[in-house]
Structure 1
Amino acid sequence: MVLTRLRRNTWVRLALLVLVCACVGAALYANWAQARDAVSELPLWVLPVAVLAGMLGLAAQMLAWRSLLSGLGSPLPGAAAARVMFVGQLGKYLPGSVWAFVAQVELARDWKVPRSRGAAATLLAIAVTVAVSLAVAAVALPLSSAEAARRWWWALAAAPLLLACLHPRVLGWGVRLAARPFARFREVAEAGPLELRGGAVAASVGWTLVAWVPLGAHVWLLTWAVGGDALRSAGPAVGAYALAWTLGLLVVFAPAGLGVREVVLVVALAPVVDAGAALVVAVLSRLVMTVADVGWAGLAVLVSKAPEHEQERNLSF
C-alpha cells in the first residue's frame, strides 16, 4: 500500500522526473563537450540523418516489446506503448540500468497492465534483444573484425544457444518458472497465469532484426563521415554496435552502457579507421542515441493521452 501511494503521488513522480532529466541533461552535456570538435568537421546533414536512423531503430525495438506484451495478454495502443517504453527508457541514464526496467513496469501499470505481465514482457524483450544482437554480431564481426571476434569470442559463441532458447516453449517455461515464487501475491494471482503466444515471439524477433538495419546504419554513417571506406565499414559498423549494445546492456551498473560500448566500438572498428577516429565514432554514436532517446520520449508524451487516473488527478487540481 505504501509503495502504491508513493507511485501515484504526483510530487514523488515529479521529483523522479526532475532527477532523470538532470541525469539525461548531464549525459547530453558530457557527450556534446567530447564531440563538439568532431561535429564541426562533419557535413551538416550527417548528425540529423544519424539521429533519424537511431530513432527508427528504437521504434522497431519498441514494437518488439509491444508484441511480447500483447502475446502475454495485455495489448497496448501504439501511442501508449511508445509512452511507456520511451519515457521508461530514460531511467537507464541513472546509475544502474535496472531503473529503466522498474520505470517501464510502473508506467505500464498506469494502463492497467499487471506488474507480472509488464515485468515478464520487459525481461523477455531483453532476452530477445541479447540473443538477436549477439547473432548479428556473430555473423558480421568474424568476417570484418578478427580482433573483436577473438576478444569477445565467448559472447559470440553464446548466440546459437540463446537463439535456441527463444523457442516459445522454452520462453514460456522460463516465464512460468520465474513467476512461481510470486504466485502468492494477490496482484499476480489476479493477473492469471503467464501464457506466451508463439506468434508474439516471432514478431518480436522480427522487429528486433529490423531494428538493426537503422541502428547499424547510424554507426556506418558516422564511420564513413570520419574517413572510413563506405563498403568496408558496413560489416564492422553493424557487428560492432550490435555487440557493444548487448554488452552495455548486460553491464547493469554502467548508465546506458557507458564505457562498455566505447571500448567495443574502438576495437571492432580498428580494421577500417584508426583508434582516434573510432573513439570519435563512439562518442558521436552516444550523443546521437541520447538525442534519439530524448526525442522519442518527448514525442511520446506529446502524442499520447495520459492514462485515465492521471487525467482525473489533473482535473482535481
Structure 2
Amino acid sequence: MLSRLRGNPWVRLALFLAVCACAGAALHANWAQARDAAAELPLWVLPAAVLSGMAGLTAQMLAWRALLAGLGSPLPRRVASRVMFVGQLGKYLPGSVWAFVAQVELARDRAVPRSRGAAATLLAVGVTVAVSLAVAAVALPLSSAEAARRWWWALALAPLLLAALHPRVVGLGIRLAARPFARFREVAEAGPLGLGGRAMASAAGWTLVAWVPLGAHVWLLTWAVGGDAVRSLGPAVGAYALAWTLGLLVVFAPAGLGVREAVLVVALAPVVDAGAALVVAVLSRLVMTAADLAWAGLAVVLSPAPEPGADASHGGPARAR
C-alpha cells in the first residue's frame, strides 16, 4: 500500500505542490522582513548574491553526484540537478528529513537503488559538515574571536570529522549501517556498497569549492550594509560556513531557520554592528531561498521527466553524460 502511494503521480504532485508552497511562503516571509533593507542596496547586489548562492549549490550538487557515482550509480549532470534541487525543497518543511526522503525517492525514479541514494545523501551531509567546519575553524579564530569562543566545540570537531572521511572509515561505517537491512530484497540486489578514495576526494573538493561563492554572497551583503571590504572577508566566509553547518544539524528547524541568523549576528560583530549583522542574516536567508527555488525551477525545465515505469529495483547504474 505504501509503495503504491509513493508511486502514485497524483500523490507526488500534491506533495510537490505542498513543498513549493512552503518554499514560496518562506520566500515571501523573508522578503517581507528584508524589503526595507533591500531597497537601500545597489540594484545589482541581490542578483549577484543569488547567482553566487546558485554557484555554491551547483558545487554541492556535483559533490553529491560524485559520491553517487562512486557508489555505482552515476547520473547525468542535468538529471542529478533535478533530483537534488527539487528534493532539497523538502527542507522547507519542518524537519530536514523530508529533503532526504525526497532526494532518495527522486533518485530511485532514475534507477538508483534506495540503498545507494540514501548512502550518497548521508555521506554528502557528512562531507558538508566536515569541510564546512574546517573552513570555519580556519577563518573564524583569525577574524571573529567571540564566535570561535562560543562555538569552539563545533570547530574542534573539524579535524576528527575530516579524518572520518578516509575511505576505509567510510567503508566500515557503510557496512555497519547496511547490516540491519541486508535481508531486504532491494538492498541485496543493489550489491555491497563501497566507496573509493577518488570519489571521496572529488566530493570533498567540490564541497570546498562551494564555499568560495557561498562565502562570497555573505561577504557581498556585509560590504553592502557598511562592512569594510577587506576585513569582512574572513568573518563572512567563516560565519556562513559555521551557520550553514549548525543549521543543517538542527533538523527540527526548517532550512536551519533561526540558527543561521544567530551565528551570523555573533560572527559578523567585528565588522558590522548587531543591527547590520541581522540585516545580513535576513538578506542571506532571502538570497539562498531564491537560489533554491531558481535552481529547482531550472532543473525541472532543463531535465526530462523520468520515463513511466522506471524502477530501480535491479540496481543497474544509469549511464552518465
TM over 0.5: yes
Q: Can you list the C-alpha shifts for 1:42-69, whole angstroms capped at 9, x where unaligned?
A: 0000000000000000000000000000
- Bigger mean CA offset, 105-114 vs 7-16: 7-16
Segments of structure 2 that go 5 or more residues without pairing to the other structure are: 311-321
SS in 2 for 1:253: coil
Q: Can you list the C-alpha shifts for 1:224-258, whole angstroms capped at 9, x where unaligned?
A: 00000000000000000000000000000000000
SS in 2 for 1:309: coil
Compute the displacement of 1:310 (Å).
6.7
Cα distance in 2 between the residues matched to 1:78 and 1:28: 27
Matching residue's letter, 2:296: A
Cα distance in 2 between the residues matched to 1:190 and 1:309: 22
Matching residue's letter, 1:92: K
Counterpart of 2:262 in structure 1 is 263
1:282-297 aligned at under 5 Å gives the runs 282-297=281-296
Does residue 156 of structure 2 align to residue 150 of structure 1?
A: no
Number of equivalenced pairs: 310
Counterpart of 2:314 in structure 1 is none
Cα distance in 1 between the residues matched to 2:195 and 2:104: 18
Counterpart of 1:314 in structure 2 is none
Matching residue's letter, 2:239: A
Counterpart of 1:167 in structure 2 is 166
1:1-317 aligned at under 5 Å gives the runs 2-309=1-308
Matching residue's letter, 2:229: A
Compute the displacement of 1:197 (Å).
1.4
Cα distance in 2 between the residues matched to 1:113 and 1:224: 43
Percent identity over paired residues: 84
Cα distance in 1 between the residues matched to 2:194 and 2:145: 42
SS in 1 for 2:272: coil
Cα distance in 1 between the residues matched to 2:189 and 2:13: 30
SS in 2 for 1:206: helix
Root-mean-square deviation (Å): 0.8
Q: Can you list the C-alpha shifts for 1:100-137, whole angstroms capped at 9, x where unaligned?
A: 00000000000010000000000000000000000000
Cα distance in 1 between the residues matched to 2:309 and 2:106: 11
TM-score by length of 1: 0.97
Q: Can you list the C-alpha shifts for 1:278-298, whole angstroms capped at 9, x where unaligned?
A: 000000000000000000000
TM-score by length of 2: 0.96
SS in 1 for 2:308: helix
Compute the displacement of 1:3 (Å).
2.1
Matching residue's letter, 2:115: S
Cα distance in 1 between the residues matched to 2:174 and 2:60: 20
